[in-house]
Amino acid sequence: MKKEYKFLDQINFPSDLKKIPEVNLQKVADELREEMIDAVSVTGGHLGASLGVVELSVALHYIFNTPKDKIIWDVGHQCYPHKILTGRKDRIRTLRQGGGLSGFTKRSESEYDTFGAAHSSTSISSALGIAEANKLSNKSDNVLAVIGDGAISAGMAYEAMNNAGASKTKMIVILNDNDMSIARPVGAMGTYLAKIFSGKIYFSLRETIKLITSAFSKRFSAKAGKAEDLLRSAVTGGTLFSSLGFYYIGPIDGHDLSSLIPILKNARDSKHQGPILIHIKTKKGKGYLYAEKAKDNYHGVSKFNVKTGEQSKGSSKLPSYTKVFANTLIQHAKKDSKIVAITAAMPDGTGLDLFKKEFPERTFDVGIAEQHAVTFAAGLATENYKPYATIYSTFLQRAYDQVVHDVAIQCLPVRFAIDRAGLVGADGPTHAGSFDITYLSTLPNFVVMAASDEADLVRMINTSTEINDRPCAFRYPRGTGIGAILPSIEEKIEIGKSRIIKEGKKLAVLNFGARLNETIKAAENLKKKGVDITIVDARFAKPLDKNLIWQLATTHEAIITIEEGSIGGFGSHVVDFLSKKGLLDNSLKFRSLKLPDIFIDQDTPENMYKVANLDSISIEEKVLDVLNSNIVLQKQK
């Protein structure tokens, strides 16, 4: 049953919001928060960050003339209230569902989504680009970037601030400081922001807000006085941002509309030539008790009961690949003091929170800084440590130059544990691990492995501990395993060796990664139709098992490769080998099943793999097509 709201029901777009008397804006915010909690309880999603910016979202769309004025939400975790206020209220319960709203900002979804974002720390760079374009076009539109305290600690944000401070181009950066990104922020920036809030003046901010607001207006006159500079310095302690060329205001209470409204108005109307940074203090999970109390402040939640806060749990009792990785690495670290683990602000997501409980001194969370994480790992490797850079596939893309220059060229034995390989479901294309096979397999000196199940993941971790002469990577998917019995930590794999799962005739399937179970399912159905195929678990994209590939090519009519990655990966390396050996000239048929040349929108992983033609039915169809079989395959509904 649809809820009824006194104010929110009147609001479909920001133009409707502007008709609400300012005195009632907090009531709008309260209703907006209630609607968002109810919606996310149905869909799951990134609730905590969005709860923290409800008042800010209302204030921004009330004060600024969006979409003419541009708002860029960093990462996108905090964009749900923005979506409700910008014409998507009636679709908010399709969030992160197939065919529904994206969980992040997305330009093709709405003109109010100025810049698509699902990875962090891009807002200031993109906002500066838009602001410079406005200047070149003689436009006076405002441009705002809303960035969190975790995201502003990343290198890209510093690069953008350095550029913006020297540009003298007007733009507004709102630093949303809630003491939390996904995990607790780490590093000197978090300490610096905490010191700002430890001062007594912050706690009397309500008494000084009028002085700040008044001073703000005066500051932009040509004859600004020293008194205002002293006030600003005393109240804020914003020396770092001021030194970078930003006019700094804050900290202010981000949940107090009586503070936000006047300061945003002054920022909007100012004639200041240069960037402005408004530092607001918010609470992640604000307004929902269970979120406020949660360790991660309900950062990413599954469907939940609004009244009890209890999240729905998957029916599977099998361990996740992430947990299998963490527990296996812990076992090795107990025997080998040289093993260390590195995460880039994702200790819980990568399982390194478990590793840290056992080895706090050997666990390094470097913050949202994948580039630094990789080179930091390389430095550890030069001193004969065994670093495990544990990073999602999609985030490792951000550090590719470091992987090439600082690791591969120097042939340093950094171990890359690549979580979330392949398609990941509700997070959509921005978080899919689509390219790591390609971008790592092209590099000289690398060993590239993919686990077909949780047992093979254990073997690959075991193997990686003894690869001391070059870098290596092993990839594994999101979610739970298939129920395979886990081997001991002594069981290893010979580098570059595949394994034959079943022997058949005419056609061989070389599977690389977690589509092996679907391949076996396809083979079982094909056998019922009189088609018996060979299945190989390739295990390695680099180095290839060339002897086995040669054998298969000379004893079968056709070869099909399967991988959860883009063109240029495992299949490309196989066909390159076959071509160089002249095996494709001997009537050998070759096909490659891989991710298509599109970005696949969010849905269930099962549906996404159907779109990618990497499910068991698609594999069956490809086999029959290659063999020119006259068997008619009946599609399963």
Residues involved in catalysis: 284, 370, 398
The C-alpha atoms of residue 588 and residue 580 are separated, in whole angstroms, by 14
Q: Do 549 and 578 touch, CB atoms closer than 8 A?
A: yes
For residue 187, give both structure tokens: 């590093």
- Continuous segment of H or E residues that includes residue 558: strand 558-563
How far apart, in whole angstroms, are the C-alpha atoms of residue 156 and residue 333? 33
In this structure, is the dihedral angle defined by the CA atoms of residues 205, 211, 215 and 217, taken in order, positive or negative? positive
The Cα 562–Cα 525 span in angstroms is: 18
Strand-strand pairing, 507-512 and 558-563: parallel
The DSSP call for residue 153 is G
Contact (Cβ atoms closer than 8 angstroms) between residue 410 and residue 370: no
| Inter-residue contact 97 to 603 (CB < 8 Å) | yes
Find all residues with CB under 8 Å of 343, minimum gap 6, and list them: 350, 352, 363, 364, 365, 366, 373, 390, 391
Sign of the alpha-carbon torsion through 458, 184, 57, 35: positive
Owner of token pair 């807000």: 209
Per-residue 3-state assignment (H helix, E strand, C coil) for 258-299? HHHHHHHHHHHHCCCCCEEEEEEECCCCCCCHHHHHCCCCCC
Quick check: 254 and 81 in contact, CB under 8 A? no
Sign of the C-alpha dihedral computed for residues 108, 114, 120 and 121 taken in this order: positive
Question: What is the Cα–Cα distance from 391 to 45, expressed in whole angstroms?
Answer: 21
Distance CA 128, CA 444 (A): 38
Take residue 65 and report the two structure tokens written for it. 């003339």
Closest CA to 538 of 581, 482, 577, 489: 577
